[in-house]
Homo-oligomer: A and B are copies of this chain.
Amino acid sequence: MAGTDRQREMLAEGPAIILVEPQLGENIGMVARAMANFGLAELRLVNPRDGWPNEKARAAASRADHVIEAAKVYDSLAGAIADLNFVQATTARPRDNFKPVRGPVEAAEDLRMRHRHGQRTGILFGRERWGLTNEEVGMADEIITYPVNPAFASLNLAQAVLLMAYEWMKTAPQGAVEPAGPQLTPATKQHLESLMGYLDRVLSERGYFRTEDKKPKMMDNLRALFTRPGFTVEELAVLRGVLVSLERFSPRRPKGAGGAETEERT
């Protein structure tokens, strides 16, 4: 319970996302969705062109209603960042000023460190058509640029937000967000040896090895084949089932037709 609460709390924290004069409601909605995907919840809008609330934004948010409903609207950028300790500005073009420029990974790590120290942070995103003014960039502490294809550098607004939210999430303390998958434990060598013994027998019976002097090399190849994947016990069982089916049954005497089962020996 405490763990769940802590996780939920963690996922509601993080930098504020500040959209400066966003033009399309759809984009605001997609920004909200991207934020929710990666555990950000605080959206601030500076003079959204089509006003607020915006039905198109809600529709595009795809149920990230908690972000949309909590969004705050400001009539100036200065007002929107007044309570923040540290602000990053995202830009596509290099700027002629003295601010440090960071990539998203480094920027997110910095945000996480500041977060741990109790600082309040935010990230600025400009208008869809032409980004942030130099004056707006000037209000930030640092600049973030993305490692985009120089020949095609214009990121959609929601995509730009997504990447920073994603990098923020990746800096989360481990445990909460690790992708969980099946742990594949290779079967013990004993299991593998059993399969090799079985193959030796059934293939020898069928003349697979042609001549005795070719057999050691061919067995080596078979062993390499079935060792390399690190098959699990379960996988070896499925494999064995296939081999046994081919060994014991035939189109004329399929499984269940009686007779063949009596030959059973594994």
Q: Hey, which bits of chain A sit against chain B, CB under 8 A?
A: 7-8, 11, 30, 33-34, 36-39, 62-64, 94, 97-103, 105, 143, 145-156, 158-159, 162-163, 166, 169-170, 172, 177-182, 184, 199, 202-203, 205-208, 210, 221-222, 225, 228-229, 231-232, 234-235, 238-239, 241-243, 245-247, 249-251, 254-257
Contact = CB atoms under 8 A, between A and B. Distances in A.
Nearest to A181: B101
A257 to B, nearest CB: 7
Contacts of A97: 182
Nearest to A148: B37
A206 B158 contact: no
- Copies of this protein, total: 2
Contacts of A178: 103, 147
Contacts of A150: 7, 177
A11 to B, nearest CB: 5
B8 A245 contact: no
A4 to B, nearest CB: 10
A182 B246 contact: no
A245 B180 contact: no
A7 to B, nearest CB: 8
Contacts of A158: 156, 159
A30 B62 contact: no
A258 to B, nearest CB: 11
A249 B205 CA distance: 9
B149 A39 contact: yes
A257 B207 contact: yes
A208 B256 CA distance: 10
12 contacts: A34-B159, A62-B156, A102-B181, A147-B177, A159-B162, A203-B245, A206-B245, A207-B256, A222-B238, A225-B239, A243-B243, A246-B247
Contacts of A199: 242
A238 B225 contact: yes
